[in-house]
Amino acid sequence: MGVGVAWANQVRVEAVKTVFFYVSIVALVCVGYGRCLVGRTRPESEKRLCYKYVWCIITVHSVSCWESQARPRQKRLAELEQQVLEKASRVETLSRQLEESKRHAGEMQGQLEESKCQQGEVEQQLSVRLRDCEEELARQAARPHQVKFVTEIVEVESSESQQAVAEAQAKSAALQEQLSLQRQLLRELETQLHDSQRTSTQLRAQILVYEGEMERAQGQLEAEMQNLEEEKNRVIEEAFIRAESEMKAVHDNLAGVRMNLLTLQPALRTLTCDYNCLKRQVQDFPFMLEKAITEAKQEICQVIGEVSSANQELLRKYKREMNLRKKCHNELVRMKGNIRVFCRVRPVCRGEHDSAENMVSFDPDDDALLYLSNKVKLMTFELDKVFHPQATQEEVFQEVQSLVTSCIDGFNVCIFAYGQTGSGKTYTMEGVAKDPGINQRALRLLFSEVTEKAPDWDFKITVSMVEIYNETLRNLLGDNQGEKLDIKMNPDGSGHLYVPGLTEFTVQSPEDINRVFELGHMNRATACTNLNEHSSRSHALLIITVAGVNSSTGHRTQGKLNLVDLAGSERIAKSGAEGSRLREAQCINKSLSALGDVINALRSRHSHVPFRNSRLTYLLSDSLSGDSKTLMMVQVSPLVSNMSESVCSLKFAQRVRTIELGNATRRQWENSSTSSSSAQALRQTFPRSLSQIWGIRFHSVPLPLMIQVGKPTV
Ligand SMILES: Nc1ncnc2c1ncn2[C@@H]1O[C@H](COP(=O)(O)OP(=O)(O)OP(=O)(O)O)[C@@H](O)[C@H]1O
């Protein structure tokens, strides 16, 4: 039953598989047909090939299907045959058992017959003996006289008769005993007979049971054999029918495949033809490729030639534009003035009780105006830019960074911090560790700028640090702090100055920048007992040289940036210095005066510029002349007690600034008595608002005065 269900399941699974296969084939054909429809441009031979391919798949699958269905049937047939063999062997075993039982029953019957026979014989013997004994007894009984006689005789012949009686009695007892034994034996034989009869009855019943069972088993076996035979015949018949139909289908498919093969041949011929054509093309390809490469090379060469001539043209234009840009820049700087003056008012420091609330004030609308008021009057100072006490280091640097970067373009730049002691010069230039000043920020900016230009330009940044104390030059990056440096004319005949023995440190990474400042600060500190006091009385110079070469044009630039923290500018009279302090103050005064003279002479286009009047101006001579740019950062203390020094510093700054306004046109106005009134008239023609809108600034000091300014008084 279970086998039948499994068989049915398997047939069902096969049927599902077949249906699925045919559905997928139909889908494949549909897709193929759809593609053929879409790609109508495909050759007919390809379509035919596609159909043939599908037919082949169907044929192969049908054969494999038939095989896969025949395989389980054969297996089932083998199982049935195995079952028949098993049943046959069981029937044989049962027959053998039956034979055995029959033989056993025969034996038992034989034994029974024998026992009966023996019993008859014994019974017969016993009955004969019994009869003999009874006869004897009867004879004995029938002879009483004889006994009496015998008794008499016994009485006569007593011993003999007594013996004979005793023997007869013993004989009689023995016979009696034998009789009882025979009776017992008879009883036992009767019991055995009963047992044998019972066993025989049982065996017969068992034989009957076995015979019935055998008949039943044989009937079952025959029925099952018949069923199996029928099933086998049916299955064989079915398989035969299916195989026949499948064979027919296979034959049909085969015929189709043959037909397809016949039609494939022309397609194959076409393909072979195409292949030969392609082969010829492949053979020709290297020549075609070579030809194409040669043509492409020629075209590329032509294009390269065109591009290089265009490049040359662009380079020429670029150089022209660069020169123009430089000229424009110079013109712009010239218009703005090569000297710019900023003012920075430091905040009131902790512990300073001298409130400056009313002494310094600012114009909310104009960041170039600063007001100083003492008890009696209010003074107005106009500069290029005024930084109020809250201005950050970053804000200050924002204003000076264009000057700093111009040294990459080959300009010489000087930035001075000027002011009395304690007005914030060192703070502005050096700053503090957490908030560095112009020096560090400038070096970092230059480094990042040249790094950005690195692909086109090869720049080298070198740094030197010197200190001028009592007109003596000291190298702050060198090993020997006691060595005094000299300024000499360069023996190469270039007319430039140089300082023999001055250390030049090449900056190659941002870490180098930190190293330079640490070393400079350390060397400056080791050379003096009180750094603060010492720094007030000496000028500190950071000299940065930026030299670059353009890798494509070979164009070279060299610019120098001088960052100068000047010594304190307080008046000797007020400080009341004596001895060494007096000499220090005189030296400071001398160098600051010389700086004023140089600026004055430069802006006045004097034929002689007194650079040699101090070490400071002599050292900076190449950075102050020509197209160089100068920024003076005037530091002002907000304290009332520093009022007079603040006024002096601001007056000096303003004079410096007004000098630069008298540029090219100043020469015409020099020594002209009308120039003052002309400038005044010009100034009056521009309303202040207009001048602010156009960025043109007029100053409160008359222009001719600028030229008349002599040495700045400090
Ligand atoms: N803008 C500022 N913000 C905060 N503190 C400042 C500022 N400017 C100056 N100071 C502080 O004022 C004090 C004096 O400044 P600094 O030492 O820079 O003056 P200096 O002009 O260099 O003096 P010296 O000529 O003696 O060297 C310092 O403690 C400094 O930190």
Region 337-362: mean pLDDT is: 80
C-beta separation of 545 from 443 below 8 A: no
Q: Is ligand 1 within 6 A of the CB of residue 196?
A: no
Residue nearest to ligand 1 atom 11, measured at CA: 424
Region 694-711: mean pLDDT is: 27
Same domain, 359 and 439: yes
How far apart CA 549 and CA 562 sit, in angstroms, is 21
Binding-site residues, please?
A: 419-426
Where is pLDDT greater, at 488 or 91?
488
Q: Is ligand 1 within 6 A of the CB of residue 638?
A: no
C-beta separation of 675 from 651 below 8 A: no
Where is pLDDT greater, at 71 or 402?
402
| Assigned domain for 325 exists | no
Q: Is ligand 1 within 6 A of the CB of residue 427?
A: yes
Binding-site residues for ATP, please?
A: 419-426
Q: Is ligand 1 within 6 A of the CB of residue 392?
A: no
Region 405-409: mean pLDDT is: 88
Range in 522-526, 594-598, 659-663 with the lowest mean pLDDT = 659-663
| Per-residue confidence band for 348, with pLDDT thresholds at 50, 70 and 90 | confident
| Per-residue confidence band for 688, with pLDDT thresholds at 50, 70 and 90 | very low
Q: Is ligand 1 within 6 A of the CB of residue 569?
A: no
Indicate if the pLDDT at residue 397 is higher than 60.
yes
Region 127-154: mean pLDDT is: 70
Same domain, 5 and 80: no
DSSP single-letter state for residue 713: P
Same domain, 422 and 506: yes
Place of tokens 């015409």: 668
- The CA angle 411-609-325, to the nearest 5 degrees, is 25
Quote the tokens at residue 15. Answer: 């049927």
| Assigned domain for 289 exists | no
| Assigned domain for 300 exists | no
| Assigned domain for 327 exists | no
**How far is ligand 1, taken at its centre, from the CA of residue 578, in Å?**
25
Where is pLDDT greater, at 667 or 514?
514
Same domain, 571 and 589: yes
**How far is ligand 1, taken at its centre, from the CA of residue 365, in Å?**
27
Range in 44-48, 224-228, 301-305, 563-567 with the lowest mean pLDDT = 44-48
| Assigned domain for 205 exists | yes
Q: Is ligand 1 within 6 A of the CB of residue 349?
A: yes
Q: Is ligand 1 within 6 A of the CB of residue 568?
A: yes
ipTM over 0.90: yes
Residue nearest to ligand 1 atom 1, measured at CA: 346
**How far is ligand 1, taken at its centre, from the CA of residue 450, in Å?**
31
431-435, 512-516, 639-643: which is most confident: 431-435
How far apart CA 638 and CA 358 sit, in angstroms, is 9
Same domain, 343 and 208: no
Same domain, 65 and 31: no
pLDDT of residue 616: 93
pLDDT of residue 663: 38
| Assigned domain for 122 exists | yes
Domain holding 15, by residue range, is 1-35
- Per the structure, how many domains does the chain have? 3
Which amino acid makes up residue 29? V
Q: Is ligand 1 within 6 A of the CB of residue 346?
A: yes
| Assigned domain for 490 exists | yes
Where is pLDDT greater, at 505 or 27?
505
**How far is ligand 1, taken at its centre, from the CA of residue 387, in Å?**
14
533-547 residue pLDDT tens: 666 788 999 999 999
CATH of the domain at 621: 3.40.850.10
pLDDT of residue 110: 86
How much of the chain exceeds pLDDT 70, in percent? 75
Same domain, 533 and 610: yes
C-beta separation of 661 from 706 below 8 A: yes
Residue nearest to ligand 1 atom 7, measured at CA: 346
How far apart CA 276 and CA 402 sit, in angstroms, is 75
Q: Is ligand 1 within 6 A of the CB of residue 144?
A: no
Where is pLDDT greater, at 565 or 111?
565
Same domain, 513 and 544: yes
Give the pairing of strands 497-498 and 505-507: unpaired
Query: 510-526 and 438-452 are packed helices; what angle lies between their axes, rounded to 10 degrees?
Result: 150
Q: Is ligand 1 within 6 A of the CB of residue 423?
A: yes
**How far is ligand 1, taken at its centre, from the CA of residue 518, in Å?**
19
Residue nearest to ligand 1 atom 26, measured at CA: 536
Where is pLDDT greater, at 672 or 522?
522
Mean pLDDT (the chain) is 78
**How far is ligand 1, taken at its centre, from the CA of residue 683, in Å?**
38
**H/E element, 337:** none
Q: Taking the alpha carbons of 196, 197, 198, 202 in that order, is the dihedral positive or negative?
A: positive
Residue whose CB lies within 8 A of the most ligand 1 atoms, among 352, 427, 434, for a mutation test: 427
512-523 residue pLDDT tens: 888 888 888 888
| Per-residue confidence band for 89, with pLDDT thresholds at 50, 70 and 90 | confident
Indicate if the pLDDT at residue 441 is higher than 90.
yes
Indicate if the pLDDT at residue 385 is higher than 90.
yes
Same domain, 387 and 522: yes
How far apart CA 414 and CA 429 sit, in angstroms, is 12
pLDDT of residue 172: 84
- Rg of the Cα atoms in the chain: 72
State how far Cα 335 lies from the chain centre.
Answer: 56
**How far is ligand 1, taken at its centre, from the CA of residue 425, in Å?**
6
Indicate if the pLDDT at residue 711 is higher than 60.
no
Same domain, 405 and 466: yes
Indicate if the pLDDT at residue 565 is higher than 90.
yes
Same domain, 353 and 416: yes
Residue nearest to ligand 1 atom 8, measured at CA: 424
The number of beta carbons lying within 10 Å of the beta carbon of residue 536 is 18
| Assigned domain for 328 exists | no
Same domain, 252 and 367: no
**How far is ligand 1, taken at its centre, from the CA of residue 652, in Å?**
20
**How far is ligand 1, taken at its centre, from the CA of residue 112, in Å?**
151
Domain final residue, candidates 249, 266, 282 = 282
pLDDT of residue 547: 93
